[in-house]
Amino acid sequence: MKHLAILLVLCMGLSACTGDEPAQKIDLSKREAVEVRDADDAVTYAYLPQYSHSVSYLRHNLLVEYLKNETGYNIRQIFPDTFDEHMRLVGQGKVDISFSNPYVYIKTAHRYGERAFAQVIETSGHKRFRGQIICRADNASIQTLEDCKGKRLIAVDLTSAGGYLYPMGQFYDHGIRQEDFAEVRFSPGPGGKQEKVILAVYAGQYDIGLIREGALNVVADKIDIRQIRVVAYSKYYPGWVYSARKDLDPEVLAKIKAALFKLSMDEPAHRPILEKAHFTRIVPANDAEFDSVRKLMAVVGIDLDK
């Protein structure tokens, strides 16, 4: 009986054993209200959200930091969720420096008086770029633009240049109109819209997709891009453009322009900034350089006032 009692005590004792590690005492009773922070007084820098915010951040954060240091202004990158929001913020004067595609620029210039002041030379060495019409590589039914008729189509955004306007112009050049497709949809927002188009085609959700050239490389680490086939390229059109709010202080603009034009791949300190932004150089530009795009928009039937 004594042994049994010892055993029971042992059982109870061992059952009480736990593996708790020491805990740090903390007092949660002292509380504070979290304030909603107001927008500070800064020069705002917005990158048209053709990619996700994080990609936008990764590509332009160093550039923004560089501009801060070069100009001495408090320059803050803001992240609109959609092209429309970008344009809306531009219209509301909340974007001082806008880096957008020619389509958005033409619209905002038309609507809000944005002034183009610089263009970027991309890693391809050109300041122009083009769009791509893609399908799944194993989709044998699509070999030519004609084959695209009656197919489901997805594009980046109605306001996307490389992801809608330029490749759609290519269809129009071949007599294929928007109504010829079984379905035309745009990538759901916010952000990451180029990737979403590629992924939608990759997944077979849509037969053909419209993207800007180079977007496939962005998703090369996510999918096997060999499964994607480029059906056709658009013509080359002007590339992305820096524009300034119409009433931006000229001095501020001048300092920013100077800083941007100063960037060089030959400069070790500038090289990572440009590489991150996928630029090789930033060169001066003016509004007339985008007239070809204005014509294309007219062909496609885009109303700049809408």
Residue ranges binding other proteins (CB under 8 A): 1, 3-4, 7-8, 10-11, 14-15, 17-34, 36-37, 52-54, 56-58, 61, 77-81, 190-191
Query: Minimum distance between the CB of residue 59 and other proteins, rounded to whole angstroms?
Result: 10
Is beta strand 128-129 parallel, antiparallel or unpaired with respect to 237-238?
Answer: antiparallel
- State the amino acid at position 260 in one-letter form: L
SS3 143: coil
Nearer to other proteins, 14 or 140 (CB): 14
Residue 141 CA to residue 52 CA, distance in Å, equals 32
Of 22 and 268, nearer to other proteins (C-beta) is 22
In degrees and rounded to multiples of 5, residue 139 shows phi and psi of -85, 90
CB of 79 or CB of 172, closer to other proteins: 79
How far, in Å, CA of 280 to CA of 92, rounded?
A: 31
Q: Which is nearer to other proteins, 54 or 227 (CB)?
A: 54
Residue closer to other proteins, measured from CB, 93 or 175: 93
CB of 7 to other proteins, least distance (A): 5
Residues 6+ apart with CB under 8 A from 293: 102, 103, 106, 161, 165, 237, 238
C-beta of 37: minimal distance to other proteins in Å? 8
Direct distance between the N- and C-terminal alpha carbons of the chain, in angstroms, rounded to an integer: 93
CB 227 within 8 A of CB 158: no
Q: In the complex, what is the shortest distance from the CB of residue 192 to other proteins, in angstroms, rounded to a whole number? A: 8
Min dist CB 217 to other proteins, Å, is 17
Minimum CB–partner distance for residue 189 and other proteins (Å): 11
Question: Minimal CA–CA distance to 135: which of 67, 221, 198?
Answer: 198
- Nearer to other proteins by C-beta: 3 or 226? 3
